[in-house]
Chain A
Amino acid sequence: MHIPDGFIDLPTSAGFAVVAAAGVAISIRGAKSSLDEKTAPLAGLTATFIFAVQMLNFPVAAGTSGHLLGAALAAVLIGPYAATLAITIVLILQALLFADGGLSALGLSIFNMSLVGVWVGYGVFLIIKMIMPKQKISISIASAIAALLSVPAAAAGFVLQYAIGANATFSVSTVFTAMIGTHFLIGIGEALITFFAVGAVLASRSDLVYGYKNETSKLEIRAN
């Protein structure tokens, strides 16, 4: 979902770049409390793993591929603020080094994936986690549903940008239907990868999972 230059006009791109920059600034402050000597390298590994898996396009429908976004995965593993920063770093490096995603469109992509994708994903995760039994498997399932919905949510961000400042004149509703449909399919792949990745970390080092750790630390306080 890396937007090339030219799809969206420059004023709209600049506007979203300002919003994206504000979101990143807030995330730097927000991430401070969850990052320490122990979790900072884990956040770095999360960004690195997401970069690697974003190279692995999987087929979704005739002639279409998709790859992991990683927004919900990162939000569950390292918390939403650090996740916003992790996805942003990946997007900037992809645009600068690999010519993946236009430079003038960087603010648009950061808005869609680092902000909308992460926060919709994290919100869905919290809601599902609340209504599920308190077990490890619930964390994996909540993560997978969050992942499934985070992808069409990020795609909806693009449709919003298209509606405001597209350089083309095709109808917004056509773009909306196609974007949401395609990205719901990609979301299924996203959900599977996220389910297994979160499960793997829970199995080896559950104490490192932000979305699980919060739960246990709250219980400890209650027990005291």
Chain B
Amino acid sequence: MKQKTFLISGFIASLFLAGIVSFYASSHPDGLEKVASDIGFIDSAEDHTNSDGILADYGVKGIDNSRLSTGAAGVIGVVATGVVSTGLFFLIRRKSGD
């Protein structure tokens, strides 16, 4: 497989997972949350600084359909992570000739 094909396939798979499969993810609390609520220290948690942000909790504010809202948030997250991380990794890479 060509490197370009590999990268594009991986990116499309990421879009598919975050944009479509994410709707079917378990909504139970994760390990830390569950332990915190079982033991009782969940009460010390504070609201997130950005809890009113337009993408808070992996949903797009204003989209009522939860499938669309989660999917759109996932797609935005994948594109944002892809752009930011690839950009940063290019910035710090070994330049040819180093």
List the interface of chain A (C-beta within 8 A of B).
Answer: 1-7, 28, 31-33, 35-45, 47-49, 51-53, 55-60, 63-67, 82, 85-86, 89-90, 93-100, 102-103, 155, 158, 162, 166-168, 170, 174-175, 178-179, 182-183, 185-186, 204-205, 208
Contact = CB atoms under 8 A, between A and B. Distances in A.
Interface of B: 1, 3, 6-7, 10-11, 13-15, 17-18, 21-22, 25-32, 34-36, 38-41, 43-51, 53, 55-58, 73-74, 76-78, 80-82, 84-90, 92-94, 96
A208 B81 CA distance: 20
Contacts of A59: 26, 28
13 contacts: A41-B89, A47-B81, A48-B10, A48-B14, A55-B25, A65-B25, A66-B30, A67-B25, A90-B85, A97-B50, A99-B50, A179-B32, A205-B1
Contacts of A155: 31-32
Given A41-B86, A89-B88, A52 B31 contact: no
Given A51-B18, A168-B43, 12 more contacts: A7-B41, A35-B93, A36-B93, A41-B7, A44-B82, A45-B11, A49-B10, A52-B18, A85-B89, A98-B57, A175-B39, A175-B41
A183 B49 CA distance: 27
Contacts, number: 220
> In this complex, which of A1, A38, A40, A58 has the most chain B Cβ atoms within 10 angstroms of its Cβ?
A40
A57 B49 contact: no
A93 B84 contact: yes
A32 B89 contact: no
A48 B85 contact: yes
A56 B44 contact: no
Given A89-B85, A170-B41, A98 B30 contact: no
A28 B76 CA distance: 26
A45 B26 contact: no
Given A40-B89, A45-B7, A64 B31 contact: yes
Contact of B35 (A33, A166, A175): A175
B48 A52 contact: no
A52 B14 contact: yes
A4 to B, nearest CB: 4
A168 B44 contact: yes
A37 B31 contact: no
A38 B2 CA distance: 12
A56 B17 contact: yes
B48 A4 contact: yes
A38 to B, nearest CB: 7
Contact of B14 (A49, A67, A93, A162): A49
Contacts of B92: 28, 31-32, 35, 85
